[in-house]
Structure 1
Amino acid sequence: MHLNISKGIRMNPFRHCGHSRYNWKSRGPHGHFAERAEHRHGGGRGGRRRIFDQGDLRLVVLQLISEKPRHGYDIIRAIEEKVGGAYSPSPGVVYPTLTLLEDIGHVRVTTDESARKLHEITPEGAEFLERNREAVDAIFARMAGIQQAQGQSAMPQIVRATENFNLALRMRLSRQPLTNEQANAIAAIIDQAATAVEQS
């Protein structure tokens, strides 16, 4: 079933000229890359549908980190859940955004007990969020609407399982190149799952 998630999404008049509608203090050395990555991937699968206007993803990530310190993977999962599986940002979008937020002083990086990077908000980041509270609330309200529409169009447990699989596969492929043996093993698992679904 096709879901038109672009309906009702407010378009940003500055999106196509490379400017954000938010007053970021500094772009930092990675700012330009992060903006282009969000523009390219922000429309959901295939790049044809847009969940976020340019600059929205930064606010979403910052808001999620303000709720509790988070890993990059946790942020990906949280965004995916909040739109009911309609969109899952790639690591190539989320991690440059985290780097940019760190560069401009809105988050700082610590480590957890497993020595993994953990991002937490700074006082400057919290102040910036409050200055943009109206925009943040509007974005999350839009995400909640998408989540509700997704729940009405597909069984949520199937959406969740499908997105978990897609995310696990992307994370594995981004970690290191696969050997032929590993690729064949993953392909066999996918084929078995497809056969089981078809026969269910």
Structure 2
Amino acid sequence: MSHPHEEGDKAPHPDRGGGRRQRLFGHGELRLVILDILSREASHGYELIKAIEALTHGSYTPSPGVIYPTLDFLQDQALITIKEENSGRKKITITAQGQNWLAENRQQLAHIQARVQARSVGFELRKNPQMKRALDNFKAVLDLRVNQGDISPAQLKKIIGIIDRAALDISQLD
């Protein structure tokens, strides 16, 4: 079961024409991302939001309604401490227990980082209208042939070969 504070921001984005976006982080994944950021330096809520936005190359900005309940959970689990500073801001620091939990979940964090990087590349590509059209066309054809069609193993093998050759052609461009 997912928790609302773990879901990606579903608000329409001016560059994407609105509509519901796929979640960027699955259940519990945002916690790991936050702990990873905090493992490098203590932070504040707004700075965490900006750090996640930078991590995703601007393709995802978590709202305060996503960040703060996650921070409350991490504090309840003794994975972080939140202390009010003289300025009234709240300084967030990872605890030794949080460092241990992060270390135990390094492999999952690596998978999250790889997925975020792959999605960020797609986000950058889609800024070009012709590339967006070509990628959308490619996805539509694949969906029609593979997911909705009655496809044989031989046809699937041919499709995979075409994709692999296209990737090789692109990688060898001057």
Are residue 67 (structure 1) and residue 40 (structure 2) matched?
yes
- TM-score normalized by the length of structure 2: 0.63
Q: CA deviation at 1:85?
A: 1.5
Q: Which has the larger radius of gyration?
A: 2
Residues 106 and 124, structure 1, Cα contact 8 Å, conserved in 2: yes
CA deviation map 1:41-67 (0-9, x unaligned): 456745432211111111111111111
- Gap runs ≥5 in structure 2: 13-18, 129-174
Alpha-carbon RMSD across the aligned residues, in angstroms, is: 2.1
Count of matched residue positions in the alignment of Structure 1 and Structure 2: 122
Partner of 1:23: none
Partner of 1:102: 75
Residues 42 and 52, structure 1, Cα contact 8 Å, conserved in 2: no
Partner of 1:135: 108
Matching of residues 105-120 of structure 1 within 5 Å: 105-112=78-85, 114-120=87-93
- Gap runs ≥5 in structure 1: 1-17, 20-34, 156-200
Larger RCO, structures 1/2 (Cα 8 Å, 6+ apart): 1
Aligned to 1:109, what secondary structure does the other structure show? strand
Q: Distance in 2 between matches of 1:141 and 1:59?
A: 14
Structure 1 residue runs of 4 or more that deviate by more than 6 Å after TM superposition: none
Matching of residues 26-45 of structure 1 within 5 Å: 35-39=3-7, 41=8, 45=12
Are residue 76 (structure 1) and residue 49 (structure 2) matched?
yes
Q: Give the letter aligned to residue 108 of structure 2.
A: A
- TM-score normalized by the length of structure 1: 0.55
Percent identity for Structure 1 against Structure 2: 36
CA deviation map 1:116-172 (0-9, x unaligned): 1010100000000010010011111211222233333338xxxxxxxxxxxxxxxxx
